[in-house]
Structure formats: structure tokens, C-alpha cells
């Protein structure tokens, strides 16, 4: 089996790639930082192919299937993992460029990569699209605005893909994690401010990249007639709560 993991240069993506190779798959490692992808491919060996790909580059994404080397084109598993949150300011102060970039990456990029690879999966009547959504797509929090909305898109897009794919052997799963550490996510969100990023995880035991990789591995290895639609994951130090109420002092 052959998988393509977007955002394989860090965090969940690297862990997912390593885990899928351990499961016996070959993996195309996609992302923008080619040096990171090459280092990971060197560590993994022949089962990995590093491919520089910015998911917001519409032309490069459309050209991707044909541009892959012979033997690396029939992708069975697409892991749409590339994504980011930028900023935590309230909506009225947020940087519009941040909003645009989150939509370009988390929504449009994911959409375009899926559209590029789905025809091959349908033609072969075999495939699995695994999306990285978030609990932010289901629960609101202050400063979550466009990030949360982008992940709500990912959830509904995943469900609607299955509506079209019903009766085929092409599966779609949306994985929706909560608090996760061990990645660059918060550093990216806070513009490289490591201290602020570290404070997000202070006093917690968050989900780790290997936990996400284990989940991806599980949904893929289930019998071909089983489709896990969505999985919401939280660490035990986190729980959903009733909507906030602001009371007059
Ligand atoms: P990281 O920041 O550690 O990794 C993000 C990856 O996405 C990097 O490999 C980055 O690679 C890649 N990426 C970003 N922009 C692009 C782009 N335009 N084109 C291609 N690749 C891109 O984050 P995580 O591993 O934590 O997050 C992975 C996914 O999981 C994201 O979609 C995130 O929203 C989601 N998620 C994360 C949670 C968390 O708390 N960590 C919780 C729930 C969901 P490069 O810069 O080399 O391109
Ligand atoms: C990442 C989880 O709660 O920081 O998607 O938005 S959260």
C-alpha cells in the first residue's frame, strides 16, 4: 500500500509517516521544508519518497499525480494533515492575512489535494482519505474564529465526501484531536514565541504525535468494509464543557 502524508516535515505528519512505514506501507512525504523531508526519508529508507509540496500552490497540487515517479502514483491512503492556526487575538483585532492563510491551507489546500487524488482512488475502487480536523471544528473558544471554522469545514467536507462515495471502497475519516503536544503547532500559532507556546501545555499531559499516528494506523487497518466517519480525541486532562455564561459583576 502507498500513502501520501501532507505536512510530513513535523509533528503529527512525521509520526504518521514513521508509523505507516512500520505498518508496511510506502509513504510519500509532502511539505514545504524539503531539508526536513529529506532527513526523514533518509531515516526511513526506500519506503519513503520526499516531495516538496505547498498545498496552497494550486498548480503544483493539480500537477502532483502525474509528476510523481513511476510506481509512486497509485496512492491508497491520503493523510490530509498539513494545517495551521495563526494567532489567538479576538476576531476584531485578528490579522486578516492570518485568516487568509488558514483558509488557504486548512480549507482550500486540503480540498485541492483531495480533488487531485480522489479520481485515482475511485477508478481503482480503493482508497482512504484521512483528514486532520480538530475539536476546534465542533467547540468554540475565544480566539478560535477562523481556525475553528476551517476545521468545521474539514468535518463537513469529510462527511459529504462519504455521501458521494457511498457504495465504493473509498473511505473517509476525520480525526478531531484536542490538546496535543510535541509538535510545532503552538509555536507556529504564536509566531515563534516558544515561552507562550510552552505555556499552553504547562501542567497537562496532552495527546502526543504517536497517539495520532496510532489512530491513523488503526482506521486504515480496519477491514475494508468499515468506515470510521469521525473520531473526537481528548487527553484525560481535557473535557467538553457547557457554554460559557458571562454574569454582570
Ligand atoms: P505542526 O506545526 O507540528 O506541523 C504542521 C505541518 O503542516 C508541518 O509539517 C508543515 O510543514 C505543514 N504545512 C503547513 N503549511 C503547509 C503548506 N502550505 N503546504 C504543505 N505543508 C504545510 O502541527 P501539528 O502536527 O500539531 O498539526 C498537524 C495537523 O493537525 C494540522 O492540520 C492541525 O490543525 C491539526 N491539529 C493539531 C492539533 C494540535 O494541538 N497540535 C490538535 C488538533 C488538530 P512545512 O512547514 O514544512 O510545510
Ligand atoms: C488544535 C486544538 O484546541 O488548540 O486544533 O484548537 S485547539
DSSP string, 73-132: ---SEEEE--------S-TTTS-HHHHHHHIIIIIIIHHHHHHHHHHHHHHHT-EEEEEE
**pLDDT band at residue 82, thresholds of 50, 70 and 90?**
very high
> Is 147 a residue of the active site?
yes
Please choose from 11, 106, 136, 197 the residue to mutate so as to test ligand 2's pocket, defined by most ligand atoms within 8 A of CB: 136
State which ligand 1 atom lies nearest to the alpha carbon of 104. Answer: 18
151 CA → ligand 2 middle, Å:
10
Residue 245 lies in a domain: no
**Residue ranges making up the domain that contains 38:** 2-233
Residue 98: all three cell numbers together: 492570518
Mean pLDDT along residues 187-191 = 98
CB of 87 within 6 A of ligand 1: the answer is no
Please choose from 10, 184, 211 the residue to mutate so as to test ligand 1's pocket, defined by most ligand atoms within 8 A of CB: 10
72 CA → ligand 1 middle, Å:
23
List, for residues 198-220, the tens digit of each pLDDT value. 999 999 999 999 999 999 999 99
CB of 9 within 6 A of ligand 2: the answer is no
State which ligand 2 atom lies nearest to the alpha carbon of 148. Answer: 6
CA atoms of 90 and 95, how far apart (whole Å): 10
- The pLDDT of residue 221 is 98
Measured CA to CA in angstroms, residue 208 lies from 73, 148, 188, 215 at distances of: 31, 20, 17, 11
- The pLDDT of residue 228 is 98
Among residues of the chain, what percentage have pLDDT more than 90?
Answer: 100
Residue 70 lies in a domain: yes
Q: Is the pTM for the entire model greater than 0.85?
A: yes
- The pLDDT of residue 70 is 97
Mean pLDDT along residues 172-191 = 98
- The pLDDT of residue 42 is 98
Residue 242 lies in a domain: no
CB of 206 within 6 A of ligand 1: the answer is no
- The pLDDT of residue 190 is 98
- Beginning with the edge strand found earlier in the chain, give each strand of the sheet holding 170-177 in spatial order: 48-52, 26-31, 2-6, 77-80, 127-132, 170-177, 230-233
User: How many domains in the chain?
Assistant: 1
Residue 238 lies in a domain: no
Q: Is 172 helix (H, G, I), strand (E, B) or coil?
A: strand
Residue 247 lies in a domain: no
List, for residues 29-74, the tens digit of each pLDDT value. 999 999 999 999 999 999 999 999 999 999 999 999 999 999 999 9
Residue 125 lies in a domain: yes
Among residues of the chain, what percentage have pLDDT more than 70?
Answer: 100
List, for residues 141-181, the tens digit of each pLDDT value. 999 999 999 999 999 999 999 999 999 999 999 999 999 99
List, for residues 85-120, the tens digit of each pLDDT value. 999 999 999 999 999 999 999 999 999 999 999 999
- The pLDDT of residue 182 is 98
Residue 117 lies in a domain: yes
82 closest CA partner among 12, 161, 35 = 12
Q: Where are the beta strands (DSSP E) in the chain?
A: 2-6, 26-31, 48-52, 77-80, 127-132, 170-177, 230-233
Residue 241 lies in a domain: no
Q: What angle do CA 21, 22, 27 make, to 5 degrees?
A: 5
Q: What angle do CA 109, 182, 43 make, to 5 degrees?
A: 80
- The pLDDT of residue 99 is 98
State which ligand 1 atom lies nearest to the alpha carbon of 188. Answer: 2
- CATH number, domain with residue 141: 3.40.50.720
> pLDDT averaged over the chain?
98
Amino acid at each position: 500500500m502507498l500513502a501520501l502524508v501532507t505536512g510530513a516535515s513535523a509533528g503529527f505528519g512525521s509520526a504518521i509517516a514513521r508509523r505507516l512505514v512500520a505498518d508496511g506501507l510506502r509513504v510519500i512525504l509532502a511539505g514545504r521544508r524539503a531539508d526536513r523531508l529529506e532527513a526523514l526519508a533518509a531515516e526511513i529508507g526506500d519506503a519513503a519518497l520526499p516531495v516538496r509540496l505547498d498545498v496552497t500552490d494550486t498548480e503544483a497540487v493539480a500537477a502532483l499525480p502525474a509528476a510523481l515517479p513511476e510506481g509512486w502514483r497509485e496512492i491508497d491512503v491520503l493523510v490530509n494533515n498539513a494545517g495551521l492556526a495563526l494567532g489567538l487575538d479576538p476576531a476584531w483585532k485578528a490579522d486578516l492575512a492570518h485568516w487568509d492563510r488558514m483558509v488557504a491551507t486548512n480549507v482550500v489546500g486540503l480540498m485541492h489535494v483531495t480533488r487531485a487524488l480522489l479520481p485515482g482512488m475511485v477508478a481503482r475502487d480503493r482508497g482512504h482519505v484521512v483528514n486532520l480536523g480538530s475539536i476546534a471544528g465542533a467547540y468554540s473558544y475565544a480566539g478560535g474564529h477562523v481556525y475553528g471554522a476551517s476545521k468545521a469545514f474539514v468535518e463537513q467536507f469529510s462527511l459529504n465526501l462519504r455521501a458521494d462515495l457511498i457504495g465504493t471502497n473509498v473511505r473517509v475519516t476525520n480525526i478531531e484531536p484536542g490538546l496535543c503536544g510535541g509538535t510545532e503547532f503552538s509555536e507556529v500559532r504564536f509566531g515563534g514565541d516558544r515561552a507562550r507556546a510552552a505555556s499552553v501545555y504547562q501542567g497537562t499531559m496532552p495527546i502526543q504525535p504517536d497517539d495520532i499516528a496510532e489512530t491513523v494506523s488503526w482506521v486504515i487497518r480496519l477491514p475494508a468494509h468499515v468506515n470510521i466517519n469521525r473520531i473526537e480525541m481528548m487527553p484525560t486532562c481535557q473535557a467538553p464543557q457547557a457554554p460559557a455564561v458571562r454574569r454582570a459583576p
